[in-house]
Structure formats: structure tokens, C-alpha cells
Amino acid sequence: MIPHRTLVRRRVRQLLPFLFALTVAFGFLALPPEPHRTTELLVIIAISLGVTAISIAVPWHRLPRICQVLPAMAFLPVIMILRDMEGGASSGYAALLVLPVLWLALYSGGEAVAIAVAGVAAALVTPILIAGDPRYPASEWRWTGITVTVVAVTGYTVLRLVVRSRRLAARLAELAATDPLTLLPNRRSWDEQLAREIARARRSGNPLSVALIDLDGLKGVNDEFGHLAGDALLQDSARAWEAHTRTEDFLARYGGDEFAVLLPSCPLPEAVVVIDRLRASTPGTTCSCGVAEWVPGEAELDLLHRADQRLYAAKRAGGATVVAELDPLPVPT
């Protein structure tokens, strides 16, 4: 979960461009304001400050996504009052109506953008329907249609670009976290997940075990049959082990012919059972495994070092076995 302070900073950064645009708009008002316009000016400043404070303070991530339209739509009355103060339909302040649509295109979704476009249309049409106001003549229907069309096209174009960029970013993040050969998480993902699981175990007090697995004889396969055969063995082993891990376990390629497994909420005896099941399922060869259970207060590297010691003890004993801390070290035969 993202800390609240981080969310607040993020919202402030998101709001800054839009607040800057409104500040510039206020700056272009005729100052000092005429007496009859002072009340209107105070109203729009109060609304702007209130909406800004609510946008920053409210935990929007806990509310339904559609609620994100509320702060953006609250700026529509501000823009319409500004427009009315500066001459009505002839005012250039109507250009500010694109701001709520852009906000929602950047930070929300298509449904929110559609609501914003409908709100802009309503804001432009309502003054025209007010009979007897010469500042909003009936001829404005044409320009209203053009404005709404431009706002809608702009909003949906930005939304499409944002969606494509998010998909591309997600794909790049996935590629950066995945081993291209086995399609398992890579060493970088393993390091991040290990840190998260240790932090979780520290908070909850639940056990956490780690296992390192080394394929026996991979070098011989590469030398005798070629690297393509060795790659196929790595891929087959990864698929076989994935099928025998628990849902909550985390299997990653640690590097070369080594793999690593995180076993949350799993004490050492149970971890040995799980890892032995993986060892027995290895296709076409055998593997050596070292298992260690995290000790409260222990650093990540120390935990991995203990698992690594057991792995090499298993290899020195001839491989095809699981060595855990509760076992005596195997004696080579």
C-alpha cells in the first residue's frame, strides 16, 4: 500500500498545472474588480481553494473510481463564473473548460471523461437557455457544438495516449522483471520480493523459509548436447517446479543453473516437504537443494548465505538431495 504522505505529494504534483492555469486566469481579470464583481471573485476563489483542499485530503484511492470526477467537475462552476464576469459568450475563458476533461483523461478513465464532456456541454448550454440574457445569444449554439466537439476529441485523444503509455510501461516493467529464457521472475524481482516477504514476516511473526536449487549436471548437458538442450532443460525444470509450488510461493531464476524459492508462512519442516516435491519432479536430471528458515532480525544476505551453505553441502554429498538446517550435513560417499 502506498503511504498517505506519498499520495498527498503525488496529488499536489498532479494539481499544480491546473492550479497554475486558474491562477493565470485570475490574473487576467480586470483589477481592481468592480464593486458588484467582488462577491463573485470571492466565491470562485473560495470554491477553488475548497476543491483543491478536498482533492488533496480525501483518500480517493479507497473510493469507487467514478468518484474521481467530483473534484474536476467542481471546477466547472468556477470557470463559468469567470466566463460570466468577463462578458459571457464573448469571453475567452471558455477555453478553460478543457481543464477538467484533461485532468480526468490523465488520471482517470473513459467513463469519467464522458461525464466531464457532458458537464462541459451542460455548462455551455445552460446560459443559452436562460431567456432574456443578451450575453448568451441563441446563435451561440453553433459555437457551443464546436467547443464541445473539440473538448471531447482532445480529451479522448489524451486518454488514448495515456492508456497506450501505461500499457507500454507495464510491459517494459514486466520484461525488466522476467527471465527471458524460463519466463520466471529474475534476480531483480527476487531481491525485491525477498525484501517484501521479510518485512511482512517481521510484522506478522509468521515463519518464512528460503530454498536455493541447483540443477545437477547442466554443464555436462551443454557440453554433450549443446546449449539449446541445456536451455530446454532449464525451461522444462521451471515449468515442472511451478506446477508443484504452492500459490503463495515465489519461484525465480537466481542465475545460471540456480533457482530460488520463497515460502511464506512456511516453517522449515514444511518447506523441506515442498522443496523435496520439487526435487522429485525435476525432468531429465536431478537437482540439489538447500533450505533455511529466516530468523527474526536476520539480514537478507545472511539468510541467503545459510541457504547457500546447505545447497553446497547437498552438492558435495553427490546431489539429488535436500539439505535443511534441521538435518546433519551429508557425508560424501
Q: How confident is the model at residue 30 (pLDDT cuts 50, 70, 90)?
A: low
Please report, for residues 25, 63, 167, 229, the alpha-carbon distance to residue 11 in angstroms, rounded to integers and kept in the order given: 21, 15, 22, 52
Q: How confident is the model at residue 93 (pLDDT cuts 50, 70, 90)?
A: confident
- Between residues 152 and 94, the one the model is more confident about: 152
Alpha-carbon gap, residue 84 to 88, rounded angstroms: 4
Alpha-carbon gap, residue 307 to 209, rounded angstroms: 9
Determine the pLDDT at residue 217.
86
| Per-residue cell: 152 | 471531447
Please report, for residues 33, 171, 228, the alpha-carbon distance to residue 164 in angstroms, rounded to integers and kept in the order given: 45, 11, 36
Determine the pLDDT at residue 3.
64
Going from the N-terminus, what domains does the chain have, and what CATH number goes with each?
4-176 (no CATH), 187-324 (3.30.70.270)
Residue 57 pLDDT > 90, yes or no?
A: no
Alpha-carbon gap, residue 286 to 317, rounded angstroms: 13
Q: Calculate what percentage of the chain has a pLDDT beyond 90.
A: 50
Q: How confident is the model at residue 184 (pLDDT cuts 50, 70, 90)?
A: very high
Residue 323 pLDDT > 50, yes or no?
A: yes
Alpha-carbon gap, residue 234 to 181, rounded angstroms: 8
- Between residues 111 and 333, the one the model is more confident about: 111
Helix (H) or strand (E) holding 134, with range, is: none
The separation between CA 333 and the C-alpha centre of its own chain, rounded to angstroms, equals: 52
Determine the pLDDT at residue 248.
93
**Stretch 265-285: mean pLDDT:** 94
